[in-house]
Amino acid sequence: MMQLLIRNEKDGILVPIPQYPLYSASIALHGGSLVPYYLNESTGWGLEISDVKKQLEDARSRGIDVRALVVINPGNPTGQVLAEENQYDIVKFCKNEGLVLLADEVYQENIYADNKKFHSFKKIVRSLGYGEEDLPLVSYQSVSKGYYGECGKRGGYMEITGFSAPVREQIYKIASVNLCSNITGQILASLVMNPPKASDESYASYKAEKDGILASLARRAKALEVAFSKLEGITCNKAEGAMYLFPQICLP
């Protein structure tokens, strides 16, 4: 997607800070401009639309054509889960500003806080009444994350909605230029997209293993959160999701 979105150094992508460094590396690789926006630690690493708009306007004043907004939910490396209301604001912002929304949702299964729930951006887009012609959205998923955690298999996929047929054809063409993923990675991606159903013979064992893995991850996230809270000079937000905590170290 970065290859399609970035034409030259005057094309910019809005990326969260703190961020997963793959995005800054990809933008640099394709010769574009990284436009940072800053997550608010005091609100649980929330995305403040006012700050994103400020960064967007600043970039445009410097002649940067900002083309897309990256949102990582649940957060990497900050471990937050976005509130549904925040997601509605993000979608409306992208619609109003003519931005492609790049939704990194690879940790959607990793939710640990009882008062938090994952909502896909596609669901948010559709609930606002936006159709196929209203908002370009790219949703990412990976077999490396979630409760599967098969990092070495190199499987993943993206769903693209809101793009015209000619653009979809170009995306498919660019994807086809690359060599295909290994066979086991493709099989795993298919299984992630089509997990066992309640009527299947394998469902009981699948659900037991899935629930066990996620419960174990939740316990470890809580243990790390508690450990950080006991250390002098260190503060940390609660572990809500993904596989990360992002502590603040206060120097005397």
- Please enumerate in sequence order all residues whose Cβ is within 8 A of that of 163, keeping only pairs 6 or more positions apart, or say none: 136, 171
Number of structural domains (the chain) is: 1
Query: Is residue 170 in a domain?
Result: yes
Note whether residue 127 is domain-resident.
Answer: yes
pLDDT at 153: 82
Three-class secondary structure of residue 204 per DSSP: helix
In the structure encoding, which two tokens stand for residue 192, read together?
């992630």
Query: Which structural domain, as residue segments, surrounds residue 7?
Result: 2-193
Residue 166 forms part of a structural domain: yes
Residue 144 maps to a domain: yes
Phi, psi at 230, each rounded to 5°? -90, -10
Whether 237 maps to a domain, the answer reads no
Residue 11 lies in a domain: yes
Residue of 121, 89, 95, 90 lying closest to 108 (CA atoms): 121
Say how far apart CA 113 and CA 96 lie, in whole Å.
32
- Looking at residue 18, its pLDDT comes to 94
- CA-closest candidate to residue 15, choices 35, 31, 1: 35
Tell me if 16 is assigned to some domain: yes
CATH code of residue 107: 3.40.640.10
Residues 105/141, Cβ–Cβ less than 8 Å: yes
DSSP lists the bridge partners of residue 14 as 35, 69
**pLDDT one digit per residue (tens) for the chain, 252 residues:** 898 999 999 999 999 999 889 999 999 999 999 999 999 998 889 899 999 999 999 999 999 999 999 999 999 999 999 999 999 999 999 999 999 999 999 999 999 998 999 999 999 999 999 888 889 999 999 988 888 888 888 888 899 999 999 999 999 888 888 777 788 888 988 988 899 999 999 999 999 999 999 999 999 999 999 999 999 999 999 999 999 999 999 988
The answer to the question of residue 87 being in a domain is yes
List the structure tokens of 173. Answer: 């063409």
Are residues 39 and 90 in contact, defined by beta-carbon separation less than 8 angstroms? Answer: no
| Helix, strand or coil, per DSSP, at residue 135 | coil
Contacts of 124 (CB under 8 A, 6+ apart): 84, 87, 88, 90, 91
Angstrom CA distances, 43 to 83, 85, 118, 159, stand at 11, 14, 18, 30
**pLDDT 10s digits, 122-162:** 999 999 998 888 899 999 999 888 888 888 888 888 999 99
Tokens of 225: 């959160």
| pLDDT of 155 | 86
